[in-house]
A and B are shown apart, each in its own frame.
Chain A
Amino acid sequence: MSTTNPEIDSANRRSFIGLLGAIFIGLIGLVMGAAGSIYAVFPAFFSSKSKKDGLWYSLKSLDQIPNGISKHNFTINKQTGWANSQTEQVVWVVKENQSLNVFSAVCPHQGCLVNQQANQFVCLCHMSKWSPDGTKTDGPTPRNLDRLDHRVTNSNLEVNYQNFKIGVSEKIPLT
C-alpha cells in the first residue's frame, strides 16, 4: 500500500534523516570504541615483544652455595612496553649433601613471597607452611612449593625462572 498523504511522507522523511544522522554518530562510536579497545588491550594480547618467562639465569658459583636453606637474588631483564626493565627476583635454594632443589619464592596460594623460619618455609600472609623439600605441611596453600628447573654450567648454578598459576592444586606454568 503506497502512501499518498504528503504529511505522512514528510514525517517519514524527517524520521529517516534523523535516523541516518544517528547512524553516522553510532558508526563513529563503534569504530572509535573498537579501535580504542584494541589499543588498550594491546600489551595483554597482541604484543610479541615482551619476552616470555622460562629463561635461564645464572645464580651463583655452586661451591658458594651453603648447605641448608639459602635465599638468592638475581636480576631478570624483560621488555615491558617501552622499557627494558631490570627487576630483582628471588628464589630459595635447598642444598643437602648431594641433592639440590630450587624453589620459586612465590606462594602458590595467593602470590605472597615465602619466608624461611628455622627449618621450614612459611608464608606469613596466610600462614601456609612447607618442609625443606617443598612439601606442604600446613595452612591454606593448594600445593607444594613450585620447584624450578636448574642446571650447572661451568660450575655455576643456573635456574630456569618462570611463574605458575596461583590458587590451583596443579602446577601450571604461565606463558
Chain B
Amino acid sequence: MSFIIAEKLTTIVEWIDERTAIKNLLGNITKEPISGGSRWAYVLGSGLLFALMLQMFTGVLLLLYYVPSSDAAHTSVAYIQKEVLLGNLIRGIHYHGTNLIVILTVLHTLRTFFWGAYKSKREIVWITGILLLFIISGFAFSGYLLPWDNNAYFGTAVRLGIISSIPIIGAPISEIILGGSSVSTLTISRFFTFHVGILPAILFLFIALHLLVIFRAKHAGSYNPTTNVEDFYPKQFFKNCCFALLIFIILSSLSYISPAHLEVEANPSDSNYIARPEWYFLFIFQLLKYFPGHLGFIPKVVLPGLLFIVVFLLPFLDKSPERNPLKRPFATLAISILLFGAILIGSVAILEDRSNPIVKAQLERQSNEAKLFLKSEFTPKNIGKTAIPEVESSSPPPSIYQTKCVACHGDKAEGQVGPTLHKLSQKEKRSREDIIKLLKDPKSYGLNPIMPTFNDLSDQELQQLADWIVSLK
C-alpha cells in the first residue's frame, strides 16, 4: 500500500519537475559548496533573511488593525498592544525584530569584512549588501513614526530637522519627506506608503539580486586556502535552522519580558519631552554636540558621506587577494577603531544623560510614563457623525482638584498624562480609603515617581477629593 503511495508521489514530483526544474534548483541550493566546511559564523546572512521574513509576516498582520492617520494611529497601535489576542506578541516580534535586524546587519557586514568575503569577484555581492543596509535603515526610519507616540513624533521631528539644516538642498528635501513644513498626518501617510508599499518591493528586488550573485560567485567560505569542501546541506543548513529557531525564541520571549515600547499619544506641545535616538544612532547624536551650529554639516553629511563612499567602493579600493584578517592589519585595525569609536561615543552620550540630574529625571519620568500607559486600560477613540457626550460626573469637582489634579487627569477626569479617574473606585485597591492613602503616599501603591505625593493637603481636602473620585461613574 505504502509502496503504491510512494510511487504515486514520485510520479507527481516528476510531473512538477518536468515543468519547473525544481529538483535542479533544490539540488543547486543543497549542493552549494562551502569551502572549509560549515561554520556557525556563516549563519548571520540566513538569520537576517529569516528575521526579515518574520518582520514581513508580523508587519502584514499589523496592517489588519493599524490606521495610518494622526487621528487614529496611536489608538489603533494601543488596541493591537492591549486588546487584540496575541497582539503583544505580533507587535513585540516586529518591534524587537527591528533592533535584532540592526545587530545582525552590522554583524553580517563585519563578518563579511573580516573574512574578506567581498574579494575575488564578489564585488557585486558586497555592493548589493551595502544597498540592502540602506534599505533596512529606510525601514527603521519610516516605521519609527507610525505608532504616533511622543517618541515617534519628536524623534522624527529631530531627524527631519537634521536633514533640513543641510545647506541649500536640506530644506526642500525635508519638506518633500514631510509633505509640508512639519510632522503631520500627511507625514504618517507618506512614511506608511514608503514602509509598506515602496520599500518592501525594493527590498525583495535587492535580496533576490544579492542571493543571485552569491550563487554565481559561490559562498566565500574559509579565508584560509583549503581543499576541504562541504555541501551546504545538511550541516550548514542545520546550523542556519538552529539560528533561526534561536532568533524566534529570543524575539517571542522578549515580547513578553519587555513589551514593545509605546508612549502616550504624540503631543506636539509637550515642551518637557526629551527625544533620544535609538541606541544605534547615539554616536551621531553625540557627535552633533561636538560641532558648533555652522559646522553641523560635518557629522551630518560629510562624515557619513565619506564613510559611505569608502564602504561602497571597498572592493575596488582593496584589491589584494589576501583574505585572512590577521594578514591585512591596516583594514582590520581601521574598522575595529571605527567600531569601538562609535560604541565609545555612543556610551558617552548615555553617560552624559545619566550625569545630568534634570535630563536623567525627565528620561526616567518618560520611561515610567510609557510603562504606566502600557498597563492602563485601553480607551477606544470616538468616531462617527456625532460625538458621544462626555461622561459627566454627578457633581462638579472640588476646587482642590482644579489646582492639583487637572493638569494630568484632565478637566473631566477623563485622563491625559495620568489615567482616567472614571470607574477608578471599581478597581482593586482603589476604595475611598485607598484613594486617600494613595494621595498621601503614591509610592506604596507603586505609582511613584509620576504621581506626585500630596501629603500637604488637609484631611478635609483629601476626603473631598476621594468622595468626588468615588462618585465618578
Contact = CB atoms under 8 A, between A and B. Distances in A.
Interface of A: 14-15, 17-18, 20-22, 24-25, 27-28, 31-32, 35-36, 38-40, 42, 46-47, 49, 75, 77, 79, 81-88
A164 to B, nearest CB: 24
A36 B388 contact: no
B86 A35 contact: yes
15 contacts: A18-B234, A18-B237, A18-B238, A21-B238, A21-B241, A27-B245, A32-B57, A35-B89, A38-B86, A42-B84, A42-B86, A81-B65, A83-B380, A85-B382, A86-B386
A39 B85 contact: yes
Given A21-B240, A28-B245, A36-B57, A87 B384 contact: yes
B320 to A, nearest CB: 37
A82 B78 contact: yes
B262 interface: no
A15 B235 CA distance: 10
A6 to B, nearest CB: 17
A79 B86 contact: no
Contacts of A25: 241, 244-245
Contact of A82 (B72, B237, B245): B72
Given A21-B238, A75-B386, A82-B72, A40 B233 contact: no
B53 to A, nearest CB: 10
A106 to B, nearest CB: 19
Contact of B85 (A27, A28, A32, A38): A38
Name A's interface SS: helix
Quick one: which of A22, A28, A32, A39 has the most chain B CB within 10 A? A39
A81 B385 CA distance: 17
A86 B84 contact: no
Contacts of A42: 84-87
Contacts of B240: 21
Contacts of A36: 57, 61, 90
Contact of A14 (B87, B234, B241): B234
B248 interface: yes
Interface in B199-248: 233-235, 237-238, 240-242, 244-245, 248
Given A38-B85, A82-B72, A86-B388, A22 B383 contact: no
Interface in B67-117: 67, 72, 75-76, 78-79, 83-87, 89-90
A86 B382 CA distance: 8
A82 B383 CA distance: 10
A112 B86 CA distance: 36
Range of interface residues on B (Cβ < 8 Å)? 35 or more
Contacts of A81: 65, 76, 79, 380
A87 B245 CA distance: 47
A148 B79 CA distance: 34
Name B's interface SS: helix
Interface string B48-63: 0000001001000100
Interface in B411-435: none
Interface string B346-389: 00000000000000000000000000000000101111111110
B64 interface: yes
Contact of A77 (B61, B83, B388): B388
A22 B241 contact: yes
A82 B76 contact: yes
For the complex of A and B, 3 pairs with smallest distance between CB atoms:
A86-B384, A21-B241, A18-B234
Nearest to B249: A28
A32 B238 contact: no
B241 A39 contact: no
A82 B61 contact: no
Nearest to A20: B238
A107 B404 CA distance: 56
A85 B237 contact: no
B380 A84 contact: yes
A39 B383 contact: no
B244 A85 contact: no
Given A39-B87, A86-B384, 19 more contacts: A14-B234, A15-B234, A17-B235, A17-B238, A20-B238, A28-B248, A31-B248, A32-B57, A39-B61, A42-B84, A75-B384, A82-B67, A82-B79, A82-B83, A83-B381, A84-B388, A85-B383, A86-B387, A88-B385
Given A17-B234, A39-B61, A39-B84, A82 B380 contact: yes
B392 to A, nearest CB: 16
A75 B238 contact: no
Quick one: which of B83, B85, B87, B387 has the most chain A CB within 10 A? B85
Contacts of A15: 234
B127 to A, nearest CB: 30
A75 B382 CA distance: 13
B67 to A, nearest CB: 8
A35 B383 contact: no
Nearest to A46: B85
Contacts of A86: 382-388
A40 B244 contact: no
Nearest to A41: B85
A38 B86 CA distance: 7
A84 B82 CA distance: 16
A85 B460 CA distance: 41
Nearest to B246: A24
Contacts of A17: 234-235, 238
A35 B381 CA distance: 26
Nearest to B89: A35
B385 A24 contact: no
Contacts of A27: 245
A82 to B, nearest CB: 4
Contact of A24 (B79, B233, B234, B242): B242
A35 B61 CA distance: 10
